[in-house]
Amino acid sequence: MHKVTFLPAERNVEVEDGKSVIAAARKAGIHINASCGGSGLCGKCRIILETGELAGGRSEKLSDEDFDKGIRQACLAAVTSDVTIRIPTESQLAKGGLTTEVPVRNQARLHIFHVESLKSEGVFIPPVEKIVMALPAPSATDNMADAGRIIQGLNNQYDERRIIVTLQTLRKIRSALRERDFLVTVTLARPVNERGKAMVVDIQPGNWSHRNYGIAIDIGTTTIYGNLLDLLSGKVLACKGEYNGQISYGEDVISRIVYAEKPEGLDQMHDLMMNTINSIIRHLLQKAAVERDEISSITLSGNTTMTHFLLGLEPHNIRRSPYVPVSTFFPPVRATDLDLDLAPHAVALVYPSISSYVGGDIIAGVMGAGIYRSETLTLYVDIGTNAEIVIGNREWLVCAACSAGPAFEGGGITHGMRAAEGAIEDFGINPVTCEPMNITMGNKAPVGICGSGLLILVATLFEYEIIDSGGKFNRNIDTPRIREGRSGYEYVLAWKEEAGGDEDIVINEVDIENFTRAKAAIYAGIKTLIEVVGLQVTDIEQIILAGAFGSYIDIDSAVTVGLLPEVDPSKILYIGNGSLLGSWMSELSNHIRRDVVEVVRKMTSFELSEVNDFKDQYVASLFLPHTDMSLFPSVNQRLAAIRKNMRRT
Amino acid sequence: MHKVTFLPAERNVEVEDGKSVIAAARKAGIHINASCGGSGLCGKCRIILETGELAGGRSEKLSDEDFDKGIRQACLAAVTSDVTIRIPTESQLAKGGLTTEVPVRNQARLHIFHVESLKSEGVFIPPVEKIVMALPAPSATDNMADAGRIIQGLNNQYDERRIIVTLQTLRKIRSALRERDFLVTVTLARPVNERGKAMVVDIQPGNWSHRNYGIAIDIGTTTIYGNLLDLLSGKVLACKGEYNGQISYGEDVISRIVYAEKPEGLDQMHDLMMNTINSIIRHLLQKAAVERDEISSITLSGNTTMTHFLLGLEPHNIRRSPYVPVSTFFPPVRATDLDLDLAPHAVALVYPSISSYVGGDIIAGVMGAGIYRSETLTLYVDIGTNAEIVIGNREWLVCAACSAGPAFEGGGITHGMRAAEGAIEDFGINPVTCEPMNITMGNKAPVGICGSGLLILVATLFEYEIIDSGGKFNRNIDTPRIREGRSGYEYVLAWKEEAGGDEDIVINEVDIENFTRAKAAIYAGIKTLIEVVGLQVTDIEQIILAGAFGSYIDIDSAVTVGLLPEVDPSKILYIGNGSLLGSWMSELSNHIRRDVVEVVRKMTSFELSEVNDFKDQYVASLFLPHTDMSLFPSVNQRLAAIRKNMRRT
């Protein structure tokens, strides 16, 4: 960590080695004009290095003379020591002499899951194990069958009992045993059910016990994510996200179901999904340098509709009252039975669901976040195309789902995108000039806005009264950045020449309306569910947020726009993609696979549409932050503080 | 039953209604010349009906005049009342005035398995059941998933617990439930293991509980047999046998294994076998008017090599010391995983084996014959290409195998064939004229000799000194029926014009040598195994013979040629195809499927080639009946009685 001092504000901040100066400034609450997201293209983010060392910080936009004076481009300069940096007038917030507070980020950083905790709890037991055995060669006095020899070895050397050898393995066993003189590695798949049998699903000649891999997949309606896991260390070796190939058949589950009801429609939906998943698997294998046949286990989680498409189940009644899915529990199957492009021995586990609208993704989140094992009364919110809400602890669990729409995943937003390189994930604005400070993932030229960026963007526009509580732009601001576009008024985040694409990156009023609807549905869902179980917001001891936002979520922004109720920010944890985390945990711990049945049985599901209050709550939430400002007292204070000294010319 | 009196011998016999006169004569020990096996072609079997009624009995060989005189063709005439029949001189044994005793058959008739005994023991529990349920339709207050509804129905209506619904079923469940207003039939597959779960493997709209079928298959090296079973009544609805399609790649398992070791050889062997089995299945379905998808369960048994080919397992080490098979236990698999042409939901169970040369066929026989449940000390002999021998009772079981060659299945015999229409299954001879009395299956023109016919044929030729104890023809008999053929001397059973094919049906000295080797191997095996466990022939309380001989086996012939040790004929039971019987029983009783594991564990296998005595026993048995005639005192007496008055001109 290095200390960065910004002048003239004299504000200090600690940042990790290698962090960009612009990110450090954002963290310190210092505004620096920066449109190009850190790609060096706009050349606006000039700062002066007064003491210490910075790495890089220079593009062709900077002359030798300026460089020698200590001038650097903040977006290209990496902090490599304690430094003092002066923000020159033209880069400062307060052009024209104004000093305005920039809010310091109150970030719920991605809570990184530690394998060590599983290990210390003694539950790091992956569902498949590679067991190496040196077995005696057969002789006239010991001419037991090859399979019997394997089972005897597992009995004697590893005290493994109750074992089945699969047909696939039987077909390889003779050659495998004799290729390396009866030294073999067997792949043992442990039963999910304690009364079940362990299965020898594969056999390899020689010792391969050092290579054991699994895959975790989250099937989102919009995006599918995968992790390739080293089942020995528990580490993620590669991760990959791709848009769900079904997306051109409709953005929400209902339109997908409608399509699936056509002749061949279900097969088509299944195939499109499998194409995406198989493409992700190919990428993961390549990235991690793992062979296809080395994957012995895969866990998949998704909402109930996605799970139906995955398994080839007819989803018709999911969209028809009384909303009956085909099944909520699914037997372990061969990966190839799902058309997954994996070896025939690979076992696939699909997360169970609760109901048509509380799916395996949310159960996976509950398992991954460990709510069901904790005494802390937790509100769990998974923000995606459908938002799911769980409240409870290890004693009880209730859940509900609400349709948020795809705004947080970049859907229905003109330049929306998922959290990937070039996505604007943080944002600041000069309230006078309206010049942006775009911080992008990977310091690339901006190509769009991801969910976490959108949240901050809307909150910031609202904080500085660039939009009003109805989401409409202030028509009186004189800046080329605010203009009338094809979908009403819009704000230009990056001009075409600064951007990673071939057009200006904007956010318009329709985008903001879509965002507002999404956040309103989620807030209304949270509030309704809390009240349904007779609690109040203040009873919640912890909020766990999930969703594919990127590396963090800004809590103040979430509260400012009225997405989350006002709670102590320290109570809020962000776990990223909860569904993926759950699948990942299931790949590392058979205990979690077993516990899931209990969790599903324990959870009570509420149909929000049947709770009278919900509709009213939703309508009241269609403002920033809410029609009832008394619910957001600290937002009132915050807005007042920001706006106090702000005068726009 | 009708009483048939034969004149002039004044011998009576009771036969079933519809039995042919020639078969009645054979039973009574009366010889009637008959070459054509009952097809009416030779016209030699003329008899005179003196009292009573016969049905049929006439071909174009018989003039109106003769018919009016009461003359009938014995092979075409069916007994339909009590009758008196005179054998005219030209049809009689004693042409030339000789009267010679024809031995009365001491038949071990096919012991028909009775489903009722399973029912009375309370173990008639087929592995799959069709369960019909009328379920409540979902509603807002009961919107459980479709699969949950099925499981709840099984819980509440049938007290079935611990149930898995397969992926295949899940894919059909929604439509099936709604097609007949929530009246459905589920196919429940019961676990072999008591700790296992029952699986809902299929679902059909409406009530189909009256149709539940299974298939039992015996995979012989030479012939494959199948039974289609009604799992409600336990009845066999159709049966079918076909030569194993692998037969052109070698008659014994060793040559098949050698072939399978070539590139693609194993796949080819598997495919040839599956072609035969699938052809049998097609025939069975057609005969029984059952749809392919109505078969939910299939059990298959065969020797270890056949089982390996069935499952696609490498058989290489079966033929190499120390003779190690890939596996002796096989998990239940989907029928389609074995390339069986059945529905995806059909479950296949493959009989376990003991070792490389004591296979699932013998275990199936032990299970089918119920030896393992009986107190009676039993010698079980399964006569096929490989002969297997089991001795024991419910306390202990030992077994051994010996290579008999395919003679008893018709292999290596010039006109050998399996027990099917046109096979000579019984035989008599006029010792003077050497004219045959051929009785064929289905009263068809003879096309060959089946195992049971061969046994009687060789025994009869030996009894009448047409061949000597070394199997060589008496060159001094002056008859066109004995002649020198391409393979040494031969006896003509039927001239081309009387036969069902386009050549004379013969048996030659090479055939007899092959037969003698086969019976010697079996006898030596029996004697060695009895002695290995410290017993004597007289300790055996029961002999159960198995093998695809046809409807019976002639005990006296079996002892005369030295195939079986001399025991009280009442102690001998014939169960036909023991392997098929075992598979069949397994289709009717899940208890038997469970017990089989215990039986396999209990059985001790002996390698006859490692018992010093075996080779000597074998060489000593290469005569009719044996070099040591003291072992066959009653055969001595029998031969003496037959030959006493016989004078050949």
Reported as a single tens digit per residue, the pLDDT across A361-408 is: 999 999 999 899 889 999 999 987 778 999 999 999 999 988 888 888
| pLDDT recorded at residue A110 | 64
* Residue B99 identity: T
A173 touches chain B (CB under 8 A): yes
Q: Is B264 exposed, middle or buried (0-12, 13-18, 19+ CB in 10 A)?
A: exposed
Q: Cβ(A624)–Cβ(A462) under 8 Å?
A: yes
**Beta partners for residue B243, in sequence order:** B223
Q: Is A69 helix (H, G, I), strand (E, B) or coil?
A: coil
| pLDDT at residue B646 in the model | 72
Cβ <8 Å between A167 and B331: yes
Task: Please classify residue A230 by burial: count the beta carbons closer than 10 Å to its beta carbon, then call 0-12 exposed, 13-18 middle and 19+ buried.
Answer: buried
- Report the residue of chain B nearest A139, measured CA to CA: B322
pTM of the model: 0.82
The more confident residue out of B648 and B259 is B259
Q: What would the pLDDT profile of B341-375 be if each residue is shown by its tens digit?
A: 999 999 999 999 999 989 999 999 999 998 998 89
SS3 B55: strand
pLDDT digits (tens, 9 = 90+) for A333-367: 999 999 999 999 999 999 999 999 899 999 999 99
3-state secondary structure A522-576: HHHHHHHHHHHCCCCHHHCCEEEEECCCCCEEEHHHHHHCCCCCCCCHHHEEECC
Q: How far apart are the first and last CA of chain B?
A: 40
In degrees and rounded to multiples of 5, residue B164 shows phi and psi of: -115, 140
pLDDT attached to residue B99: 41
- Separation of alpha carbons A423 and A420, rounded Å: 6
| B chain contacts of residue A170, beta-carbon cutoff 8 Å | 311, 313, 326-327, 330
Q: Over chain B, what is the mean pLDDT?
A: 90
CATH 3.30.70.20 fits B214-350, yes or no: no
B647 pLDDT band, cuts 50/70/90, is: low
Q: Is A68 exposed, middle or buried (0-12, 13-18, 19+ CB in 10 A)?
A: exposed
User: Of A102-111, A129-138, A334-343, B117-126, which range is least confident?
Assistant: A102-111
Whole-number pLDDT of residue B116: 85
Whether B145 has its CB under 8 Å from any CB of chain A: the answer is: yes
Identify each DSSP E strand in B26-104 by its residue range: 46-51, 54-56, 71-73, 77-79, 83-86
Residues of A in contact with B321 (CB under 8 A): 140
Locus of tokens 């013969």: B506
What is the mean predicted confidence (pLDDT) over B464-489?
93
Nearest CA in chain A to B328: A145
Helix axes A304-311, A253-260, angle to 10 degrees: 30
Q: How confident is the model at residue A103 (pLDDT cuts 50, 70, 90)?
A: low
Note the pLDDT of residue A531: 93
Peptide bond between residue B480 and the one before it cis (omega within 30 degrees of 0): no
Inter-chain contact B324–A170, Cβ cutoff 8 Å? no
d(CA A466, CA B373): 90
Q: Which residues on adjacent β-strands are paired with residue A437?
A: A34, A428
User: Quick check: A228 and A236 in contact, CB under 8 A?
Assistant: yes
pLDDT surpasses 90 at B443 = no
Give the pLDDT score at A41. 78
Which of A314-318, B83-87, B371-375 holds the top average pLDDT?
A: A314-318
DSSP B482: E
Instruction: Please check whether residue A163 touches B, CB under 8 A.
Output: no
Q: Quick one: pLDDT band at residue B102, thresholds 50, 70, 90?
A: low
Q: How far is CA A253 from CA A223, A225, A249, B95, B146, in A?
A: 13, 18, 10, 95, 19
CB contact under 8 A, A145 and B170: no
How far is residue B377's CA from residue A178's CA, in Å, rounded to a whole number? 41
Q: What is the pLDDT of residue A430?
A: 84
Nearest C-alpha in A relative to B200? A331
The minimal CB distance from A146 to the residues B170, B195, B327 is found for B327
- Under a CB-based contact definition with an 8 Å cutoff, are residues A269 and A261 in contact? no
pLDDT, residue B94, reads 44
Is the minimum CB–CB distance between A167 and chain B shorter than 8 Å? yes
Q: What is the pLDDT of residues A490-542, one digit of tens each?
A: 999 999 988 888 899 999 999 999 999 999 999 999 999 999 999 998 899 99
CB spacing of B167 vs A333 below 8 angstroms: yes
Q: What is the mean pLDDT of residues B130-136?
A: 97
B542-552 burial, b at 16+ Cβ within 10 Å, e below that, comes to bbbbbbbbbeb
Bridge-partner residues for B228, per DSSP?
A: B215, B238
Q: Is the pLDDT of residue A183 over 90?
A: yes
CA-to-CA separations, B73 to A425, B20, B66, B89, in angstroms, rounded: 103, 10, 11, 14
CA A608 to chain centre: 25
Average pLDDT over residues A411-424: 88
Confidence grade of residue B465 (pLDDT, cut at 50, 70, 90): very high
**Cβ–Cβ below 8 Å for B148 and A327:** yes
Nearest to B326 among A139, A146, A317 (CB): A146
* pLDDT value for B364: 95
How many percent of chain B have pLDDT more than 90?
A: 62
Measure the CA–CA gap between A410 and A549, rounded to whole angstroms: 10
CA triplet B317, B319, B325: central angle to 5 degrees? 40
**What pLDDT sits at residue A93?**
47
Q: Is the peptide bond before B325 cis (omega within 30 degrees of 0)?
A: no
- What would the pLDDT profile of B620-631 be if each residue is shown by its tens digit? 999 999 999 999
Distance from CA of A21 to the nearest CA of B (A): 54
- Give the integer Cα–Cα distance in Å for B506 and B485: 9
Of residues A471 and A644, the one with the higher pLDDT is A471
| B27 contacts B12 by C-beta, under 8 angstroms | no
Residue predicted with more confidence, B96 or A226: A226
The pLDDT assigned to B32 comes to: 84
The pLDDT score that the predictor gives to residue B105 is 65
SS3 A461: helix
Residue to test with chain B: of A150, A170, A607, most B Cβ within 10 A: A170
Q: What is the pLDDT of residue B95?
A: 44
B195 touches chain A (CB under 8 A): yes
State the average pLDDT over residues B161-175.
95
- Give me the pLDDT at residue A95, please: 44
CA distances from A278 to A281, A292, A338, A618, B149 (A): 5, 11, 11, 39, 33
Flag whether residue B337 sits within 8 Å of chain A, measured between CB atoms.
Answer: yes
The answer to whether residue A248 scores a pLDDT higher than 60 is: yes
| pLDDT exceeds 70 at position A648 | no
Query: Distance between CA A45 and CA A53 in Å, rounded?
Result: 18
From the options 3.40.50.2300, 1.10.10.10, 3.10.20.30, 3.40.1440.60, give the CATH code of A1-92.
Answer: 3.10.20.30
Closest Cα of chain B to A367: distance in Å?
A: 22
Strand segments (E) across B467-514 = 482-485, 488-494, 505-508
**pLDDT tens per residue across span A264-274:** 999 999 999 99
At B295, is the pLDDT very low, low, confident or very high (cuts 50, 70, 90)? Answer: very high
- Residue of chain A minimizing CA distance to B175: A314
Instruction: List CB contacts of B241: < 8 A, sequence separation 6 or more.
Output: B223, B224, B225, B226, B280, B418, B419, B420, B548
Determine whether the interchain pair A175/B337 forms a contact, defined as Cβ–Cβ distance below 8 Å. Answer: no
Distance CA B582, CA B588 (A): 10
- The residue of A173, A203, A326 whose CB has the most chain B CBs within 10 angstroms, and thus the best one to mutate to test that interface, is A326
Q: Judge if A1-92 and A127-205 fold alike in CATH terms.
A: yes
pLDDT tens-place string over residues A213-229:
999 999 998 889 999 99
Domain-wise residue ranges, chain B: 1-92, 127-205, 214-350, 368-406+536-639
Check residue B90 and give its pLDDT. Answer: 60
Residue B430 class from Cβ within 10 Å (0-12 exposed, 13-18 middle, 19+ buried)?
Answer: buried
Alpha carbon distance B286, A4 (integer Å): 86
pLDDT tens digits, one per residue of B137-165 = 999 889 999 999 999 999 999 999 899 99
What mean pLDDT comes out for the span A50-75? 88
Residue B29 has a pLDDT of 77
Contact check, Cβ <8 Å, A143/B322:
yes
- Give backbone dihedrals phi and psi of A258, rounded to 5 degrees, phi first: -55, -45
pLDDT value at residue B100: 45
Q: Are the C-beta atoms of residues A240 and A283 closer than 8 Å to each other? A: yes
Give residue-wise pLDDT tens across range B248-285: 898 788 999 999 999 999 999 999 999 999 999 999 99
Choose which CATH entry (3.30.43.10, 3.40.50.970, 3.10.20.880, 3.40.718.10) describes domain B127-205: 3.10.20.880
**What pLDDT sits at residue A181?**
97
Per CATH, the number for A213-350 is 3.30.420.480
- Give the pLDDT confidence score for residue A90 in this predicted structure: 61
ipTM above 0.90, yes or no: no
Is the pLDDT at B92 greater than 70? The verdict is: no
The B residues from 313 to 332 touching A (CB cutoff 8 Å) are 313-314, 316-317, 321-331
Q: How many angstroms separate the CA atoms of A268 and B204, rounded?
A: 25
Largest CA distance in chain B: 99
Q: What is the pLDDT of residues B38-66, one digit of tens each?
A: 777 778 888 899 999 998 888 888 888 98
Of the pLDDT bands very low, low, confident and very high (cuts 50, 70, 90), residue A92 is low
